[in-house]
């Protein structure tokens, strides 16, 4: 949790990239946002429509819930992750 209070945590697993980050809410407080997307590009280069996000409590149990959600997304979309590295066509036209 101390790490997430300062910056985001990113990684990848077999074609699925992920990011955990603390996000301030307008009404005060913070939530933990988990985002997954297919390789081969980073968070900022990947088009928004290729990403899936969910928010959780900004606490230890929120991290556990976020990891469970990411595992569920990995299992549910296995075909997407298996061929993710081949998806160079999702690169935005402005980056080509």
The answer to whether 31 touches 55, Cβ cutoff 8 Å, is yes
Q: How confident is the model at residue 23 (pLDDT cuts 50, 70, 90)?
A: very high
Token look-up 């290729």 returns: 50
CA 61 to chain centroid, in Å, comes to: 18
Cα–Cα dist 3/69, whole Å: 20
Copy the structure tokens of residue 32: 């933990």
Least confident among 4-18, 41-55, 81-95: 81-95
Does residue 75 surpass a pLDDT of 60? yes
* Token duo for residue 28: 């005060």
**pLDDT (tens digit per residue) in 31-67:** 999 999 998 889 998 889 999 999 999 999 999 999 9
Judge whether residue 88 has pLDDT over 60.
Answer: yes
């Amino acid at each position: 949790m101390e790490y997430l209070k300062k910056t985001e945590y990113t990684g990848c697993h077999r074609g699925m990239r992920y990011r955990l980050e603390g996000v301030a809410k307008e009404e005060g407080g913070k939530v933990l946002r988990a985002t997954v997307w297919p390789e081969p590009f980073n968070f900022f280069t990947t088009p928004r429509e290729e990403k899936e996000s969910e928010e959780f409590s900004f606490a230890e149990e929120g991290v556990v819930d976020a990891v469970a959600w990411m595992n569920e997304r990995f299992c549910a979309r296995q075909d997407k992750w298996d061929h993710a590295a081949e998806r160079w066509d999702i690169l935005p036209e402005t980056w080509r």
